[in-house]
């Protein structure tokens, strides 16, 4: 009985940890959507806007990867 509860708790915890991957996808879409809007408003800032967009992409993607890493740790390390 206890093993089944622990196994179910692992699956629920891993599923909850992967919810952050959806937030990462939404964040990346928001970053590049705002890049297009900013470039349309002021094309002379293209390089600076692109630099900020890549930084935002990297930070958002890192959060998604951290969520995925936590899910794998919950499933296989505990």
Domain ranges of the chain: 2-76
Q: Give the side-chain half-sphere CA count within 13 A for 42.
A: 8
Give tens-digit pLDDT for 58-74: 999 999 999 999 999 99
Q: Look at residue 21 in the predicted model and tell me its pLDDT.
A: 87
The answer to whether residues 69 and 20 touch, using CB atoms and an 8 Å cutoff, is no
- Residue found under tokens 């919810």: 19
Burial 3-28 (b: 16+ CB within 10 A, else e): eeeeeeeeeebbeebbebbeebeebb
Q: Per-residue pLDDT for 1 more than 80?
A: no
Kindly report the pTM of this predicted structure. Answer: 0.79
Give tens-digit pLDDT for 26-57: 999 999 999 999 999 999 999 999 999 999 99
Going by C-alpha positions, the residue among 77, 66, 72 that lies closest to residue 27 is 66
Domain spanning 2-76: which CATH class is it, in words?
mainly alpha
Count of CB atoms situated within 10 Å of the CB of 56: 17
């Amino acid at each position: 009985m206890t093993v089944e509860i622990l196994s179910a708790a692992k699956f629920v915890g891993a599923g909850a940890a992967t919810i952050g991957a959806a937030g990462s996808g939404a964040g990346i879409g928001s970053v590049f959507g705002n890049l297009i809007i900013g470039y349309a408003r002021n094309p002379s800032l293209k390089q600076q806007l692109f630099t900020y967009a890549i930084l935002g992409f990297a930070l958002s993607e890192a959060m998604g990867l951290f969520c995925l890493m936590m899910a794998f740790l919950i499933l296989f390390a505990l």
